[in-house]
Amino acid sequence: LYNRVQMKTIKAVGYARVSTLLGQDVENQLSGIRDLASHREYLYLHSYIDQGVSGKREKRPGLDSLVRDAKLGKFSIIIVHSIDRLGRSTKHLLNLMDELRHYGVSLISIRENLDFSSPVGQMALTMLASVAQLEAQLISERIKTSLAVKKKLASDHGTNWKCGR
């Protein structure tokens, strides 16, 4: 009984992010986050959400609010669906994790299933952050290539297609 009561005193929050609103539902991430918190018998307090915000941006309303609350000691665990939901820049992710660790906050990632506070977890975090950054760069490259092809096709067919504002 003591251990069960002790687990319920561990305060956890969730963070979810979708970069586009086209066909992405943040609830897909949140349901798994809440399930994990319930399974581990954490006291789940709140979900911080960023919708329609790129992971390349360091400043995001939901993430900024999460960091402020972490600094105030409102919780000790953050649960995310995957590490790339926190960000797609290696430098940003490592700095964010260092800041959260300073506040006494640990991160649990459902997809990676690692303890990021251990030495092995830190090494894995660095590798995963690099992969997330690579993925963001590849996405950007594919979009630029696709837009260039569309522009060329429009030019070849004499249409007045333009991209952007």
* Residues taking part in catalysis: 19
| Segments in the chain forming alpha helices (H) | 2-8, 27-39, 61-71, 90-102, 119-156
Report the chain's C-alpha Rg in angstroms: 19
Q: Which residue has the tokens 């995001």?
A: 60
In whole angstroms, what is the distance from residue 90 CA to residue 38 CA?
30
CA distances from 162 to 6, 146, 152, 154 (A): 60, 13, 11, 9
> Nearest 5 degrees, angle CA 41-CA 50-CA 88?
95
